[in-house]
Amino acid sequence: MNSIAVEMRSVSKVFGPVKALNQASLIIEYGTIHGIVGQNGAGKSTIIKVLAGIYRHDEGSVFVGGKELKSITPKSIEECGVHFIHQDRLLVSTATVAEAIFLRNEPRFGPFINHRKMNAQAAELLKQYFDLDLDPSTLIADLSTAQQKIVQITRSLSQQAKVLVLDEPTAALVTKEVDRLFTVLRRLKEEGIAIVFISHYMSEIENICDTVTVLRNGENVGQVSPKQVGIERIVTMMTNRDTSEMYPKRSIKVGSPVLEVNNLCLKNHYQDVSFNVGAGEIVGIAGLLGSGDKEVLQSLFGLTPPDSGSIAIDGTTHQLNSSVNAVENGIAMIPEDRRAHGVAVSLSIAENISLASVNNISKGGFINRRQEAQSVNALIEELGIKTPSGNMLVSNLSGGNQQKVVVAKWLSCDSRVYLLDEPTVAVDVGSKIEIYGLINRLASEGKAIVFVSSDFEEVAEMCDRILVIYKGEMIGEYKGGEIDAEQLLAAVSGKKITINRSAL
């Protein structure tokens, strides 16, 4: 038998102007656990989605079990024995465990589903693979996330999976559940199954993977063994990039504190968070998924009010219990989900820009259209939004320009504090640079900026100060330039980083 389970040769995939995959290759052998690592936008999920038949690759070829697959559909790839446990695509919550495991493969009695047999087989499979006594008639909705993952894996195994692809399987799991999952994965490996493991967590990659493919900017920069080269080398391979042109430098002149956060607590999310942001300062909050970084931002914008603690703007304490409140007090949010929270794409640029500042341009409930056009056109020009007029629909703009519309919205109502949640998500490199320029410009105008991003390179490069949050607690604070993306990646995973301060 061929030892190579999956081979992808020089696969390329282009989305509009963005080359998501550029001649990337992947070779996965049976009986190994193969990690795929890379930063956000490196092409991890794209290469997996090509293999899963969700995207069609523009160039290159894919072999499974030595046979070339001309066209891949989600159904045909499963028939080849390659099964996917996607991060976000979970099970039908109203199904039972047994129904989820045997979906579309139910044991039959004539035209009817043989429920008794199905439940018995489901219980047996769970016992066999996971040594788990789980009532197969439990509803999926009543299971923990770890149990749901286990049900998904059991479903794949019940269909004789030969290759199992796990996308961020541990993202929502606690340590004990991760350990159990790893035990199962190791046993499956012994049985000769090829496992593809995608994770942000370097310690997990080091712990469980036999080989690792490192992707960067859509390219394959190497296949290495983490036990031989060490995790530091892999992180370097992930982040190594000429950064000087990406991040325009600016001179920092931090003014008096604008935003003061004192002992903010929100049960189950973060505890005792305190920090200040001065005028013109960019403060980054870096943390892993679920570390509480986003929740702090949500609380600062009044969306999830904290249990205790205080927030002061320009020295005055405010009770922020709604976004209305936050906006009135000069807080602006550039949300992560641009299409759901940032811009209404079916409205015009002008309508979007003046949405938060309608009060400033209206009198007695009526909008002064001339005044609106003036301020909108000024902002379009100031920020360089590429559009013939403010009456164009936002849906006609590129991602980067849409993000500029969001910034323009807040500039029009003179916000002092800017909360940036993944401001460069889903934009291409060119727009990224423009957005960095925009952020620097906000800072130079004296705005206080809080920056949250899962791209640690941009956090390390953009911020004047970086706060590290780990499991809801602030565990470290670094000055800009003091720490790089690699060290930050280690710091957010809870490792102690020693900074040689005298060297600076």
Q: What angle do CA 113, 115, 118 make, to 5 degrees?
A: 100
Q: What angle do CA 277, 280, 286 make, to 5 degrees?
A: 50
127 C-beta neighbours (distance < 10 Å), count: 12
User: Least CB distance from residue 393 to other proteins, whole Å?
Assistant: 7
Q: Which is nearer to other proteins, 159 or 371 (CB)?
A: 371
Phi-psi region of 25 (alpha: psi -120 to 50; beta: other; left: phi over 0): beta
Structure tokens at 332: 């602006």
Binding-site string for other proteins from residue 389 to residue 408, where x marks contact by CB under 8 A and - marks none:
----x--x------------
Which of helix, strand or coil describes residue 438?
helix
Binding-site string for other proteins from residue 129 to residue 168, where x marks contact by CB under 8 A and - marks none:
----------------------------------------
Which of helix, strand or coil describes residue 113?
strand
Does position 327 interact with other proteins (CB under 8 A)? The reply is: yes
Does position 345 interact with other proteins (CB under 8 A)? The reply is: yes
The conformation of residue 393, written as its DSSP 8-state character, comes to: B
Of positions 217, 236, 362, 371, contacts other proteins by CB under 8 A: 362
Cβ(63)–Cβ(69) under 8 Å?
yes
Residue 77's alpha-carbon distances to 25, 53, 152, 268, in angstroms, are 18, 7, 17, 40
Q: Looking up tokens 């035990």, which residue turns up?
A: 183
Of 7-15, 165-173, 284-292, 345-353: span binding other proteins (CB under 8 A): 345-353
Does position 414 interact with other proteins (CB under 8 A)? The reply is: no
User: Least CB distance from residue 362 to other proteins, whole Å?
Assistant: 5
Q: Which is nearer to other proteins, 8 or 361 (CB)?
A: 361
Which of helix, strand or coil describes residue 305?
coil
Q: Which is nearer to other proteins, 14 or 344 (CB)?
A: 344
**HEC secondary structure over 330-369:** CEEEECCCHHHHHCCCCCEHHHHHCHHHHHHHEECCEECH
User: Among residue numbers 456 through 485, which ones bind other proteins (CB under 8 A)?
Assistant: none
Q: What angle do CA 148, 198, 483 make, to 5 degrees?
A: 120
Q: Which is nearer to other proteins, 286 or 426 (CB)?
A: 426
Does position 354 interact with other proteins (CB under 8 A)? The reply is: yes
Cβ(377)–Cβ(388) under 8 Å?
no
Amino acid at position 203, single letter: S
User: Among residue numbers 246 through 305, which ones bind other proteins (CB under 8 A)?
Assistant: 301
User: Least CB distance from residue 295 to other proteins, whole Å?
Assistant: 16
Does position 341 interact with other proteins (CB under 8 A)? The reply is: yes
User: Least CB distance from residue 307 to other proteins, whole Å?
Assistant: 22
Q: Which is nearer to other proteins, 77 or 333 (CB)?
A: 333
CA distance 273 to 275: 7
Q: Which is nearer to other proteins, 337 or 477 (CB)?
A: 337
Does position 366 interact with other proteins (CB under 8 A)? The reply is: yes
CA distance 148 to 359: 48
Report the run of H or E that residue 471 belongs to, with start and end: none
User: Least CB distance from residue 3 to other proteins, whole Å?
Assistant: 47
Does position 333 interact with other proteins (CB under 8 A)? The reply is: yes
Cβ(299)–Cβ(320) under 8 Å?
yes
Of positions 286, 356, 420, 452, contacts other proteins by CB under 8 A: 356
User: Least CB distance from residue 11 to other proteins, whole Å?
Assistant: 27
Number of residues that bind other proteins (CB under 8 A): 33
Q: Which is nearer to other proteins, 391 or 444 (CB)?
A: 391
Residues at the interface with other proteins (CB under 8 A): 301, 323-328, 333, 335, 337, 339-347, 351-352, 354-356, 358-359, 362, 365-367, 393, 396, 409
